[in-house]
Chains A and B, each alone.
Chain A
Amino acid sequence: MVPPDPPKDRTMTVSTIEHASHAVPANPPSGMESLDIRKLGMWVFLGSDCVFFASLITTYFVNRPLIFSGEPNPHHTLGINFTAILAFILLLSSLTMVLSLAAFQRDNIQSGRNWLLATAALGTCFLAGQAIEFSNLAHEGVTLSSGLFGQCFLIMTGFHGTHVFIGVIWLLACWLFAGTGRFNAKNFIGVEISGLYWHFVDLVWVAIFTLIYLI
Chain B
Amino acid sequence: MTATHTSPGHQSGTHDAHDSHAHPTTATYIQIFVVLFVVTAAEVVAAQILPSIGMTSLVAPSLLIMALVKGALIILYYMHLKSDSGVYAAPMVFGLVLATGMLITMIGLWILAPRVPCTPELGKACVVEK
Number of interface residues of B (CB under 8 A): 66
B60 to chain A, nearest CB (A): 5
Contact (A99, B14) CB under 8 Å given A48-B95, A91-B33, A215-B60: no
**Do the beta carbons of B98 and A50 come within 8 Å of each other?**
yes
B110 cross-chain contacts in A, Cβ below 8 A = 62, 65
Which of A126-134, A138-146, A203-211 contacts its partner?
A203-211
**Do the beta carbons of B78 and A98 come within 8 Å of each other?**
yes
**Do the beta carbons of A215 and B59 come within 8 Å of each other?**
yes
Closest B-chain residue to A55, C-beta based? Answer: B102
Q: Is A46 an interface residue (CB 8 A)?
A: yes
Interface size range on A against B? 35 or more
**Which interface residue of A40, A95, A195 has the most chain B CB atoms within 10 A?**
A95
Kindly identify which residue among B6, B95, B107 contacts A29, using a CB–CB cutoff of 8 Å: B6
- CB contacts under 8 Å to B, within A26-75, are 26-35, 39-40, 43-44, 46-51, 53-55, 57-58, 61-62, 65-66, 69-70
Q: Give the complex CA separation of A47 and B81 in angstroms.
A: 14
User: Which 6 pairs show the lowest CB-CB distances between chains A and B?
Assistant: A47-B95, A54-B99, A25-B13, A50-B95, A29-B10, A47-B91
A69 to chain B, nearest CB (A): 4
